[in-house]
Amino acid sequence: MLDHVGFQCSDLAASGAFYDAVLAPLGGSRLMDVKVAIGYGTGGHADFWISELSEGDGFRESHIAFAARSRSEVDAFFEAAVAQGAEVLHEPRIHEEYHENYYGAFVRDPDGNNVEAVSHRPE
């Protein structure tokens, strides 16, 4: 359903370093860099974008959940985020309130957004 989603960042270089690190364990990479925006994705399509803060007033937290193929990918995402200094919201674990195989980890990106990696597969 979604073609792409984007966040504005107060420090594009810091956010770029964060997303370079946390998306790599999920198979994602920086596919485009157009100086004012960076596009990430898999399979050659940039479907997640970060850009310079250019409009709007004040901060409104956003949430994005990146798909992981396994629980070990969720763990690797979490480890990369912590290594980048991310605030931990929820360490990797089963979130039965969603469903019995919902294994996710939640952190804050450099701008305070709620960023998650999730696997829906049993292991």
Whether pTM > 0.85 for this model: the answer is yes
Q: What's residue 101's pLDDT?
A: 96
The distance of Cα 113 from the centroid of its chain, to the nearest Å, equals 9
b/e for 42-59, b at 16 or more Cβ within 10 A? eeeebbbbbbeeeeeeee
Q: What's residue 5's pLDDT?
A: 95
- Mean pLDDT, all residues of the chain: 94
